[in-house]
Structures are given as C-alpha cells and as structure tokens.
Amino acid sequence: MILRMTLSNLVKAALLGVLTFAGMGCGPSIYRAVTVEKIGVPHPLTSPAPAGRVSLVLAPQTSLESVAGGYRIGPGDVLEVKVWNQPELSGEIRVQQNGTITLPIIGSIKVDGLTESELTDLLKEKLKQYIRKPEVVLQVKEFAARKVYIVGEVKNPGMIPLLGETTLLQAVALAGGVLPTAFLEGTYIIRKNKVYPVNLYRILIEGHAEENVYLRDGDIIFIPGVSFRRVFVLGEVAHPGEVILSRKNMTVAEAISEAGGIALGGLRDQVKIIRNWPDNPEMYSVNMDALLSGEAVDASATILKPGDIVYVPRSKLKSINEVLQLIQPLLDMFISRPLQTVVNSLYIWERVK
C-alpha cells in the first residue's frame, strides 16, 4: 500500500509541476461557417528529450496490435515447432533477445512481432526449398516474463506482471478497475519512445472489443483524470495553451474567449480546428466574422471535443502538416512533456522502491 500510494502521489505531483491551464472565462455561443477537409495522417511529432533520455514520439493508435490481429511473438517466448515427419526439425526453441530463432537447415529467422499464423507461413515458405509440401504446426508454449505499468485513475496503480498474452482491458482489471474520476478518452500507452493515444471509453464502455490491444513488456498505461479533458487553443491568441472543457457543448468561440481572445494580427476568417488527430485527422476552417455576423450553419463542428486543436494563424495555411509544424513546440509542451514526466516518475519509483 505504501509503495502504491508513493507511485500515485509521485506521478500526480510531477504532473502538477508541468501542467498549466488557461483561465476560465465566458464567450458568446454561436453557429458556424466552416469548411471541412479530411487530411492524410500527418508526420508524427517528436518531443525533444533531455540529454541521455529517449524522446517521445506521438503515434496513432492504429500502430498498436489489436486483439483482432493476434498475439505478437517477442524475445523470451518459447515456441513449439512441429514439422510433419521431420523430428529433427521439431522441438521447442526460445526467441533470443534480438528477436530471432535458429532452426536446422533454415538458419536464423527474425520472428519478433510476428503472429503464430505469420510465422507458420514463413517457416513453410522457407522449408519448401528442402521439403515437398511441408506441414508445420507452431504455437507459443511459454510466454516470457514481462511487466507493464499502469498509472493514473485506477484503484491500484503500479507494476503488473504479464502472464501470457495480456490486453489493455485485462491490465485495467488487474489494477482494480478505473476510478469515477478517470477521463477514459484521454488514455495513453507509452511504448519505448512512442506515445499512442487510446480511447478507452470506446473499448470499455461502448464495447468496441476490436480496438482492445495487446500489451508488451515495459508498456506504460496512463489513464488521466478529468483535468485532461481539454482542448488546445494556440497561435494568435492572448494566452495560448490548454483550455479545460469544464462544461458540455463548449464552442470554438468560447474556447478562444477563455484564451483571451484573438490577438492583433490573427486571421479571424482562417481559424483552424484539428480533430481526431493523430489517427484520422480532419481540419475545419472557421470564419469567425461570418459566425459573429449571424450566418446560420450546423453548429456541430464548432462544438469542441476533447483533444481538439484550435489554431489562429497569422497567415493563410493550406494543409494540416503546415499547421502542425508551426504548433509542434507547444503541442510538445502540453502533450509529450507531461507523459515524459510520467516515465521519469516511474523510473524514480523503480529506483527507490
């Protein structure tokens, strides 16, 4: 209990040191005059790390292995290989730390990241050079000793040993479940030097089981509190930064108002909203003057959602990548650095526990 509370308090205290939020205000509720454009997935953003540390790269959730794809073999796993009528080619073999196995005749093969089915097909293809119509049966006989960490709004944050193939939902259950204060849509999985946003609400509450993912050794699951229910208002505003979605149906105008309003030089007719980033980004162009003049259009696009990025440019921008390149340093500050703090806190906890 002491260690669990120490980890929880350490992470929360560290996050308080890096998270700052814009002051609360109130702006007019208005309709929208927007154009919308669906854009291809932009280049991932990189968070510069202090010397001697690995930087974090934001990556789409679709890069993770979903349960629909099957378990991915990794270093330390023991595989049972059976080749029909070929006992000398059959047996158990452990995956080396470099992700390879060595088999008679075939030699060394890279297997890290493959499913049982994919590796079976690969072995059949390689054995065709020596055996006519080879029949191969393969399964993971023993899973390597691994561990993941889960921090944030769960009942029992800390280290969880992986006993076999373990999913995100299984890890959450082993941690005692989520707290009422959890912001499930803002969940992140940190794997090596990459950060993957995961919508745990869709998986846990709405039942999208196909979006559940397998975990790997060393993964960090971060389930934030409601303070992460936020948008980012950046560019030519008085106080660029985070705005907490403290009420339902907050509009882009209200969020800009809470950021101090559009500054001199900001293009009022070129305000951008980036949504569903980084998985399936869309960019909305909003003409604030048209909105204020009373142009009545469907208001759904300008009612902000958690994670939306509102950007007021100084000059006209054509693509989502142009916008992201301009705001990368601020996104780094508000997204990657707090998560880097979580990683650093876990490192300290491991050293002192």
Burial class (CB in 10 A: 0-12, 13-18, 19+), 209: middle
Model-level pTM?
Answer: 0.66
Q: What is the CATH number of domain 61-68+145-226?
A: 3.10.560.10
Q: What is the CATH number of domain 21-54+229-330?
A: 3.10.560.10
pLDDT of residue 154: 95
Domain layout of the chain by residue ranges:
21-54+229-330, 61-68+145-226, 75-142
Topology agreement, domain 21-54+229-330 and domain 75-142 = no
- Alpha-carbon distance of 146 to 138, in angstroms, equals 22
Q: What is the pLDDT of residues 236-255, one digit of tens each?
A: 999 998 899 988 889 899 99
| Mean pLDDT, rounded, for 129-140 | 92
| Mean pLDDT, rounded, for 184-208 | 89
- The better pLDDT of the pair 72, 37 is held by 72
First-to-last CA distance in the chain?
Answer: 12
Q: What is the pLDDT of residues 10-62, one digit of tens each?
A: 555 555 454 443 333 333 333 335 454 443 333 333 333 433 344 566 666 66
* Chosen CATH of 75-142 out of 3.90.400.10, 3.60.15.10, 3.40.50.720, 3.30.1950.10: 3.30.1950.10
Residue 232: is its pLDDT beyond 60?
A: yes
pLDDT of residue 69: 67
Q: What is the pLDDT of residues 257-271, one digit of tens each?
A: 999 999 999 999 999
Q: What percent of the chain has pLDDT over 70?
A: 76
Averaged confidence pLDDT in the chain: 79
- Alpha-carbon distance of 172 to 169, in angstroms, equals 5
- Residue 164 burial (CB count, 10 A): 11
Q: How far is CA 288 from CA 71, 222, 273, 296, 301, in A?
A: 49, 36, 12, 12, 13
Q: What is the pLDDT of residues 116-126, one digit of tens each?
A: 999 999 999 99
